[in-house]
Amino acid sequence: MASEFAVELRDVVKRFVTPEGNEIAAVDHVTMQIRNGEFFSMLGSSGCGKTTSLRMIAGFEWPSDGEVYIEGKPMGHTPPFQRKVNTVFQSYALFQHMTVYQNIAFGLEMEGAGPDEIKKRVGRALEMVQLTGMERRKPRQLSGGQQQRVAVARALVKTPDVLLLDEPLGALDLKLRKEMQLELKALQQQLGITFIYVTHDQEEALTMSDRIAVMSKGRVQQLATPVEIYERPTNKFVADFIGESNFMEGKIKSIAKDEAKVFVPSLNKEISGLPMSQDFVNGEEVVVSIRPEKIRIAEPAAKGEGLFKVQVLNSVYIGSDTHVYVDANGLRLKVMEQNRISRLDPSSFYSKGQEITLYLLPENTLILKKD
Amino acid sequence: MLQRLRESKSAQGTVLALPTTLWLFVLLIIPLILTLIISFGKRSPDGDVIYSFTFENYTRLAGFSTDCPDGQATCFDPLYLNILMRSLTLAFNTTAVVIMMAYPLAYFIARAHPKRRTMFLFMVLIPLWTNFVIRVYAWMMLLRKEGAINIVIGWLANLLHIPFTPLEMLYTPGAVLVGMVYEFLPFMILPIYTSLEKIDNSLYEAAADLGANAFRTFLRVTLPLSMPGVVAGTILVFIPVMGTFVVSDILGGRQVILVGNLIQRQFLDARDPTFGSAASLILMVLTLIVTYFYTRKFGFGEEIIAA
């Protein structure tokens, strides 16, 4: 491989003019490096710039500023058909007037491949997506999942360096989507090529990706592995967008090495030993963040550090877990408790107004910058 | 009865189709049967129909005349066959020219900004607000010897000191072709536009992504996907051109006689409804045959429209 990175975006900006005549930056100074052979996801809600970024890699859009590099080469205004990347479209974009075979063969014909080679490669691609025997069908005679596979086969048959996928599973039902997630991931590992995957579904991104770029308002909010994104979000947006988080206002009391002591007014408590992944100064107003499943409900008689008393507001049973909403001096917190025991006995639930003790491990707690 | 109507979708369909079915039966099927009967009849000396069963009108159309110059019983004169051939050729040529002119324009409109599309389509439709005959007369004013085109060319020639004799454009096959193309262009633009407009932009992107340049994308993706529009447009243009007599009457004069003119003259000037009926039916059969083979090859395009 010519370069360490399959794709690189350097300070890329894409500006559009809205119908009202205003100029907006759909992609606002995005820099990211996508390594060879990795499953990379761009995650964000609609309008965050993820699809526009993907389209700039594909060559359907050109950056207003900055540069896209593929295999170390600046792309400039290189048209899509001269880039070694292929796209699986959200709508699949299958050619309805062609059979499955013709759809997959199209890209090879454009390369000028001979008929024998086309036959061999299309056959292999069909095998790869388990559609052997469907060659002569037209796309609309296939189910959504099968059409999706044709779209994948049509892109992969070109043996691209990078496969771009724009919310490819968005139109499928949940069960099929989960199946296809695992299948795509397996396919990527088997082929060893780079996948760049755009999705708004965080579970999908966490399941499949080696690394994720969480995007919002045209910017990369955090770029890291799924574990880092979930366990060590670097700002409030990411902590809120990925999974769920309880946020509490706080003020730094003292800093020692990479640990801080924070006073949290709503708990009326100082929490010490909080890990710091960013630079903070003494006395800084911060946000303390903790995931609902990382708060434990302690035995009523428990004593020691990190315990605080709260009132139960509501308790919701959702099968695998019970969600307990509590009030801590006017602040609403969510606590998730796994149902390890049978809940058939109604008295095993917490009732409204009941006082319980929560236990909060400092190492599960994050301090984040105030927006 | 009402209960059944409320429950059965097919009964509802029947009721909805009834008025039009009756209309077509009274005003299409019955007249067609009458035309068929009359076409086998004979003309009486004062222009009435004598009902009989003779193929005379059809043999006459095929060129076997009983009215021969040198006293023979029968002779061959391809007069009517020539008229049929001329009509067919003109219909083919008109359709071909109209497709070539309409396609690029439809493509341009379909790819234009959505806000502008409405305006362009509106401009295509504006000429249809003027009466068909008036539009043909307008072409006569343009094409005749003292017409606008000759005036402009003459003025230019004068300016450049080139000798100029006014062009004889009116009453030529070319004038009829120009008139036909002008009259039927919108009927080709609209269906082609509709089918082009339906093509999702992601298909063009997919083609580019798979290595096709603009030209090959057009040949392999755009053109096949817009064929339903071309087919629909062809049917809308070819059939009326085969039968129209107004354009050839005004712009072709006595020089360009088409089947439509022949039929018209049989009913009005020659007062021979039997021969006119036979010619009408032959025109219909000819059109049907061409349309049948055409749609068998290209389809009505319904499967792509359905997708």
Domain count for chain B: 1
The residue of B199, B202, B203, B209 whose CB has the most chain A CBs within 10 angstroms, and thus the best one to mutate to test that interface, is: B209
Give the per-residue pLDDT at B306.
Answer: 41
The whole-angstrom separation of Cα B95 and Cα B237 is 6
Give the ipTM: 0.84
Is the confidence at residue A343, as pLDDT, over 50?
yes
Tell me the chain B residues in contact with residue A155 when contact means C-beta distances shorter than 8 Å.
Answer: 209-210
Average of pLDDT values for A242-246? 92
Name the percent of chain B lying above pLDDT 70.
97
**B50-93: per-residue pLDDT in tens?**
898 988 899 889 888 777 777 677 788 888 999 999 999 999 99
| pLDDT value for A40 | 97
Q: Does B145 touch chain A (CB under 8 A)?
A: no
| Over residues B129-151, mean pLDDT | 92
Domains in chain A: boundaries: 5-235, 244-369
Alpha-carbon gap, residue A158 to A140, rounded angstroms: 23
For the stretch A133-149, pLDDT in tens is 999 999 999 999 999 99
Task: Lowest mean pLDDT of A137-141, A356-360, B295-299, name the range.
Answer: B295-299
> pTM for this structure?
0.82
Average pLDDT, chain B: 90
Residue B133: inside a domain? yes
pLDDT at residue number B300: 64
- Closest residue, chain B, to A164 (C-alpha): B209
The three state secondary structure string of chain B is CHHHHHHCHHHHHHHHHHHHHHHHHHHHHHHHHHHHHHHCCEECCCCCEECCCCCHHHHHHCCEECCCCCCCCCEECCHHHHHHHHHHHHHHHHHHHHHHHHHHHHHHHHHCCHHHHHHHHHHHHHHHHCCHHHHHHHHHHHHCCCCHHHHHHHHHHHHCCCCCCCCCCCCCHHHHHHHHHHHHHHHHHHHHHHHHHCCCHHHHHHHHHCCCCHHHHHHHHHHHHHHHHHHHHHHHHHHHHHHCCHHHHHHHCCCCCCHHHHHHHHHHCCCCHHHHHHHHHHHHHHHHHHHHHHHHHHCCCHHHHHC
Predicted confidence at residue B302, as pLDDT, reads: 53
Pairwise CB contact (< 8 Å): B210 & A79: no
Chain B residues lying within 8 Å of A78, measured CB to CB? none
Over residues B112-118, the mean pLDDT reads 90
pLDDT at B6: 80
Domain membership of residue B8 (yes or no) is: no
**CATH code of B281's domain:** 1.10.3720.10
Q: Is B209–A155 a contact, with Cβ atoms under 8 angstroms apart? A: yes
- Residue B282, in any domain of the structure: yes
Is residue B129 assigned to a domain?
yes
pLDDT above 70 for B301: no
pLDDT at B304: 43
Q: A189-198, A315-324, A331-340, B4-13: which range is least confident on average?
A: B4-13
pLDDT score of A277 = 76
- Is B302's Cβ below 8 Å from some Cβ in A? no
Model confidence pLDDT, tens digit, residues A286-319: 999 999 999 998 887 877 777 888 999 999 999 8
Average pLDDT (A69-89) is 94
- Nearest-neighbour CA in chain A from B121: distance (Å): 22
Mutate to test the interface with B, among A20, A86, A97, A165 (most CBs of B within 10 A): A97
Does some domain include residue B37? no
pLDDT (0 to 100) of residue B305: 43
> Does the pLDDT of residue A371 top 80, yes or no?
no
Closest Cβ–Cβ partner in B206, B213, B220 for A93: B206
The reply to whether residue B225 touches residue A96, judged by beta carbons under 8 angstroms, is yes
- Give the residue numbers spanning the domain of B182: 80-306
Identify whether B259 is part of a domain.
yes
Residue B216 touches chain A, beta carbons under 8 Å: yes
**Does the residue B226 lie in any domain?**
yes
B43 within some domain: no
Q: Do A93 and B208 touch (CB under 8 A)?
A: no
Percent of chain A at pLDDT exceeding 90: 72
Q: Which residues of chain B does A104 touch, with a Cβ-Cβ cutoff of 8 Å? A: none
Fold (CATH) for A5-235:
Rossmann fold (3.40.50)
Check if the beta carbon of residue A294 is closer than 8 Å to that of residue A232. no
CATH 2.120.10.30 assigned to domain A244-369? The reply is: no
Q: What is the pLDDT of residues B246-294, one digit of tens each?
A: 999 999 988 888 999 999 999 988 889 999 999 999 999 999 999 888 8
